[in-house]
Chain A
């Protein structure tokens, strides 16, 4: 499963006085099995971009090819695309509506036209993947759960469709540190077990640096930078000029460099940084 986006442009309300260009000539490739991070300032076009990947938005120009199928082509079955590309929106808990957790998770599989047995199997499996105990939660109302639990139910609702590509728009927004850690761990775990492509939109650079194979940087509707986390976070000045942070470790090394300590760019791993600093000190030079 691979995704190719070519020269994607999207204009909201074309022809009206409040027309706005949300995406401007965006191109990138995602390979099978990759964990891709998307970063960018609010309003940079991240959300618009990911909504194109499962056909919720139609491009004004350009093409999106998912596993060889051009989404802009005629006669493409949208239900088939949405089965393959699962999208978890920001604050997905606001889309819950059923009486019980199990029924809510079953909504997606049911829309795919699966039989009862298969739906039940998938609900159990999805709840297991998001680490909710089936016996304890299946018959509860989703509205009685805590914020973090609701979010897991919502994510389970998409996972139960067994998408080959899982897109998550800021899946940890508004969660407390523990729930944040749990949800991230869960996503990595799902990625490993399902061997899917994961697209992860986030404002947390530490998470992006640690988890992703590839990072896309959006700014003003353009994809201005893409590469491995190391390549992307090496462009410290450029990221900062766009109002983006660096991972904590990269930030520290960046500040050391500003003070005249020679350090390589784009390092975000704490052990690697430790080694660099120790080497530096053992090299006999002192820090101002």
Chain B
């Protein structure tokens, strides 16, 4: 059950999208998110859905995999939908108890739900098609200009790399500890909320101890290989923009322009 978590998961593949420069993908995702907030009409979302569908098709990541990322935030989507449904004032179309449902409310709620779904699928596409290590490389590059004003871009990137690197390790560790305690008769699946919270102690204590041990070993191993951070580190593969990246850049700019046009002219 612990393996079901797909947060920041990478889907191995060799599509055009996978091969794009991580920097262009990060900027592209950012622009896409901004564009979703610029769009204020359904027709704009229709265009966004078509673009997104095309990108998913090209990336060869199964749709099933994409939708799985929606599961954990399904509750949030429903919550915002219901909230919007009841909280927007306007022309009343139905009444439930003391709440009024308005035409504007339905419009707003649907609109927000679509926006949220597009937001999540779009941004999960980034992590699904980019190896974590490339992702942090890209972030480091993009943050570099800010190091002039004191932002520790290398340290930040290294922290992210390590954090991402240890997600699977810690999940595996959790899985192992859970199994070990289950073998001793621990039951994590039944009982009320207090019982379940109490059952977490036998997992959390060993997990924290493991995490500290791993962190210490890691720090030691890095120091033993003379790691001291800093700007002078070179890397094994340097990133270069290619033709495909230029095309991607143009397409993203076109998407942004379309969003603005929808807002201004329609």
Listed in ascending order, the chain A residues whose CB lies under 8 Å from chain B are: 13, 17-18, 51, 54, 56, 79, 82-83, 86-89, 92, 94-97, 107-108, 111-112, 143, 157-158, 161
Contacts and interface: CB of A to CB of B under 8 A. Distances in A.
B128 to A, nearest CB: 12
B134 interface: no
B205 interface: yes
Nearest to A110: B185
Contact of A82 (B3, B177, B185): B185
Contact of B184 (A13, A18, A51, A161): A161
Contacts of B206: 94-97
Contacts of A96: 206
A107 B184 CA distance: 7
Given A18-B12, A94-B209, A96-B206, A111 B185 contact: yes
A92 B3 CA distance: 22
A108 B183 CA distance: 8
Nearest to A16: B65
B184 A111 contact: yes
Contacts of B185: 79, 82-83, 107-108, 111-112, 161
Nearest to B3: A13
Closest 7 CB pairs of A and B: A111-B185, A97-B205, A108-B184, A95-B180, A87-B183, A89-B180, A97-B202
Contacts of A13: 3
B196 interface: no
Given A56-B179, A95-B177, A157 B184 contact: yes
Nearest to B180: A95
Contacts of B257: none
B186 interface: yes
Contacts of A157: 184
A86 B201 CA distance: 21
Contacts of A82: 182-185
Interface string B168-206: 000000001101111111110000000000000110011
A89 B182 contact: no
A83 B179 CA distance: 14
Contacts of A95: 177, 180-181, 184, 202, 206
16 contacts: A51-B179, A54-B183, A56-B182, A79-B187, A87-B183, A88-B183, A95-B202, A95-B206, A97-B205, A107-B202, A111-B185, A111-B187, A143-B209, A157-B184, A158-B183, A158-B184
Interface in B134-162: none
Contacts of B11: 17
Contacts of A111: 184-187
Contacts of B177: 94-95
Given A96-B206, A97-B201, A56 B184 contact: no
B183 to A, nearest CB: 4
Contacts of A158: 183-184
A216 B236 CA distance: 45
A82 B182 CA distance: 8
B205 A94 contact: no
B80 interface: no
A138 B222 CA distance: 39
A56 B183 contact: yes
Contacts of B180: 89, 92, 94-95
A138 B174 CA distance: 27
A17 B186 CA distance: 33
B216 interface: no
B89 interface: no
A282 to B, nearest CB: 54
B15 interface: no
B186 A89 contact: no
A76 B206 CA distance: 29
Counting chain A CB atoms within 10 Å of each CB, the highest count among B182, B184, B206 belongs to: B184
Given A13-B3, A17-B12, A95-B181, A89 B187 contact: no
Contacts of A79: 185, 187
B71 to A, nearest CB: 16
A84 to B, nearest CB: 11
